[in-house]
A and B are shown apart, each in its own frame.
Chain A
Amino acid sequence: MSLVTLKGIHRYYGSEKNKTHVLRDLDLVLEKNEMLAIRGKSGSGKTTLLNIIGGIDFANSGEYFFLDQPLVLRNQSDAAKFRKKHIGVIVQHFALLDDLSAYENISMALWTQRISQKELKNRVETLMDELEILPLKQQLPSELSGGEKQRVAIARALIRKPDILLADEPTGALDEETERQIMAILKRYHREGNTLVIVTHDESIASNCSRQIHIRDGQVV
């Protein structure tokens, strides 16, 4: 059973007369426990593809199957429910809320879930410990290094135990050493039996993945 199957996906912007195609008739199958790298030049459509997989953006046409079941996201609310249940997202520049501590940025994802304060604390601190950021729990994002911020962002994405972790240039803003550390974390996460999709233009990052696809002019080549 495939985790995600995309068939004939089209995504374009602009008016009907003046369309700019980002994805054209794209097919993709993502298996469980896969670590997929999506490569391509800037503007090739790789982030759009990632966002469509994550229910962040919507295709103009085509079919989306999740666990072999057709996925229909009618509105933002449907998409938010889908993301909440299945998707974790990390982006190049971390997307952390500046006024929250590292601990709060991670625990935020559980704020609307019915779990006790004790369980919430336990889950967040365990994950922070695994990612070696527990001593930083009270720090604000502005007090963290790039690598530390990305670990916090990863922890936030993983705290709800998503089926797929989507990473958009996760090491794009980091130095080489930190890049290696972050990739080690992601690979470990994959080895534990989880599914990852990484968007990157970096060959060395892509070579860490179990499979690579290239996007050119909105199509898998």
Chain B
Amino acid sequence: MRFLRHELSRSLVTHWKSNLMLLLEMALCVLVVFVLLYNVSVAAANANWYKTTVSDVNRYQLYLAEEPSESTDQILRSEGEAILQTIKKNSSWRFYQWLRTGFGVPINEDGSYQLPAIFESGYEDGIHIEANDELGLQALKCAYFTPEVFDVYELTVSEGNLFSQADYTYHQGQPYPVILGSEYQEFFDVGDIIDGTLYLEHDQLVVIGFLHSGSFIASPGVSTLVPLDRYIIFPYFDETVLADGTIQHDPLGKTVGAFLWEGTLVVTDPTIDVQKEMNRITNTYGFPAIQCAQYTGSSIKSAEIISQRNVALLSALALVIISLSILSIGMLLNRRTRIDLQTYGMYLISGILPGRIYLVKAAELLIFAALSILPSVWLSYLQFQRLVVPPWQLLCISVPILFVSALPAQKLISRVNLDQIIRRKSQ
């Protein structure tokens, strides 16, 4: 320990300039790799998700062929629910419905947000929703999901539970059960109550679970996926139990939504003509035509290919950067070791074994490896308020880079020629 302490402090102080340079280079390298790793992980998750849940299925979005009018409104009221139930029961496909909305959480008295801005609706699109000072609210991203959405997209929770059947009935005055995206996990626990505004000025949500990180769903008209990590998920309620016990069953809103862009079919029978089958159903009820627009074809396929290409490109770029860093850091360590050869020679003459010197050098490299990940950790917290790439993954990059870079320097130490050192000193 005495030797370790002495040699570490000597080396850190004597070579402070090259140490600083080394640390900067390493930090930069880890930072680049961190960004790449993050993107690779997102792209890989996308690619994997496409492969498992999207690419092999046919997806159709439903919408009314004609603009809603008085006559369609009337028929929707009278026949809409029956048609929706018929569509749901058809064994040729699976029907699901989801709706994007917003939930307002109050802004603190000092004007700061209760939650970081990244949770705001529109944040991913580069649109920062300014705090509404009059209402004093911050708009968060929400979505209502019917139960099928969780099955179709294989959505599971990392903590807590998914919605039970009972959760699809809302009890007036009770908090709304919600499942939060994984990034909320840092701020809330299962069972927490979140105050805010959904329909009324003061609504409450109760957290029942958290989705796994990297959960997505597909969205019609958008070739990329919708990441759910920053979403609040509500059950798409079937009915409401009022305070006096009356059950309010008002399916109109949900039915209208189902035929106006919210409803999606995932076709399970590849032999079926989807539009023909839909026409058969609507004709039975004398209902206006419902168009079935396929959206899983080329747009999602091409997104999958782009996603996979991104993984390959980013990985190649990471390899190039790591190789360059190894070269550069290797030269730096080599130069530093040459300066120290005389000292190492003195250690060896004094009876200190080479293994001890290697041990100290290894400890020094581990310190550098640990320090070099700090900027990435800082950036992660700054950008995402959490560690998007675990520190052990960053260490898995920084430690091998440093140890491979140090190989020539280590070889140099192993070849210290004491005879030459003694003679040089004696001249």
Query: Footprint of B on A, CB under 8 Å?
Result: 47-48, 51, 56-57, 76-77, 80-81, 83-84, 89, 91-93, 95-97, 99-100, 104, 107-109, 111-112, 156, 160, 168-169, 172
Contacts and interface: CB of A to CB of B under 8 A. Distances in A.
B346 A76 contact: no
Given A83-B349, A91-B426, A112-B353, A57 B418 contact: yes
29 contacts: A51-B418, A51-B419, A51-B422, A56-B422, A76-B348, A76-B354, A76-B414, A76-B415, A77-B353, A77-B355, A83-B348, A84-B351, A91-B425, A92-B425, A93-B426, A95-B349, A96-B346, A97-B343, A99-B10, A100-B6, A108-B6, A108-B347, A109-B352, A111-B3, A112-B2, A112-B352, A112-B356, A160-B351, A169-B426
Contacts of A83: 348-349, 351
A99 to B, nearest CB: 6
B418 A92 contact: no
Nearest to B426: A92
Given A80-B352, A160-B351, 15 more contacts: A51-B419, A57-B418, A57-B419, A76-B348, A76-B354, A76-B414, A84-B351, A84-B353, A104-B6, A107-B2, A109-B351, A111-B352, A112-B2, A112-B3, A172-B426
Contacts of B276: none
Given A47-B422, A56-B418, A91-B426, A111 B2 contact: yes
Interface string B353-392: 1111000000000000000000000000000000000000
Q: Name B's interface SS.
A: helix
Interface of B: 2-3, 6, 10, 14, 343, 346-356, 414-416, 418-419, 422-423, 425-426
Interface centre among B343, B353, B356 (most CB of A within 10 A): B353
Contacts of A51: 418-419, 422
Contacts of A81: 353
Which 7 interchain pairs have the tightest Cβ spacing? A84-B351, A111-B3, A57-B419, A111-B2, A109-B350, A92-B426, A56-B418
Given A80-B353, A111-B2, A111-B3, A95 B348 contact: no
Contacts of A57: 418-419
A80 B425 contact: no
Given A80-B351, A83-B351, A99 B14 contact: yes
Contacts of B347: 108
